Chains A and B, each alone.
Chain A
Amino acid sequence: MSFLEVFQYTRQDSVIHRLDPRAKLFMSIVLAAVSLLFLSIIPLLIIFICLVPIIGAAKSLRRWTRSMKGLSVLLIFIMIFNTLLSTQPNPFSHSVALTLRLVALMTSFSVFFLTVHPDELSQALIQMRVRYEFAFAMSMAMRYVPTLGQEAYAIMDAQKARGVELDKGSLLKRIRNIVPIIVPLIIVSIRRALSIAESMESRGFGSSEKRTYMNVLKFRKRDWAVVIISLFVLIFVVYVRLFVQLPTWMLWQIPV
């Protein structure tokens, strides 16, 4: 699961980190769209090579390489699978291209997730007119996930200490043994939710439509620059894809 590392926020200070999350969202979407427009190896390689410096600018190259290493087994598997099932004239070349595209897609989105703090994402959604309650529910979920995890372990310990054997017995028995874990977990979560609600209500949550925000996201020149450049890149690539005949060397395939 270490490949998920590339979608985890890292607390760092880089050029990319300092951009407005909305600009980064747009950039990531454009990068992903561009990756999706091609199915030939060379163009995808070019796109890939352009992505790497962006990851580097986000000071996350090491993390990204680690993730890619963790992913390599899966990638090889995908390549083999696609080669065997492909109906294209050059199956191997095709599957290499597909794998490259997958990596490019992942990297495009990882730029966003690596550099956007969950709170920033929440604020971005709010400023993009998502209802406050939904955005907040999302960040609260992230806030309490580790707590819930700990609670689950504590419950397992408590039941094991009463003689509940979680890892023995027939499949049916093991499924039934989930009940003593799930029921307390649900109850404890409900109790916790009520307690949290009391605290939130006591601090005025949900009272006013005119809620203010201390950290407001403001687009700066560099954010506009990123958006405009991304837009141009998108337009350019779409144009090339639709109207320009790609030179033969770009359509090179791996010789069979």
Chain B
Amino acid sequence: MNQQEIRDKLFEQFGEEVIKGEDLFRDQVTLTVDRSRIAPVCRFLKEDPELAFDFLSFVGAVDRYPSRPRFEVLYQLYSLQRNHRFRIKALVDETDSEPAAIDSVVSLWPTADWHERETAEMFGITFKGHPDPRKLLLPEEWTCHPLRKDFHVEGNDEETPDLPRKVEQGS
């Protein structure tokens, strides 16, 4: 199926209540999905026999600071069976009372595990229902989110200290 056919099929299934917008760029369609419905949309994309997106290429995020909503979480999909690709995204906002959060898709595509862990630590987005929500690349003790636009890229000794030598038990 080509991009337009996939788009039409998703609109037919979910309607404009779930699919909040679409972008067309160089014949590539990007659909913006409602944040709370990301799991059912992904499940449909994976399990529908015509779409059959059995491979999740990538999960990432974009920080649109200072505009609102602040984050876009991107899902780049590929179907090995059908040899077609598609991209969906969800807008995620962060308020003082409510941290940025979206449902995890690890139960659909196990490869989302590390992608979501990296996105979580780099942007500070919580993936709800993730089976192993530890940090992936950054040191455990760092609390900052380096890929946020308001993060000072040089870091500092308080937020991103040099790691000390780990002292083993008994030494």
| A interacts with B | no
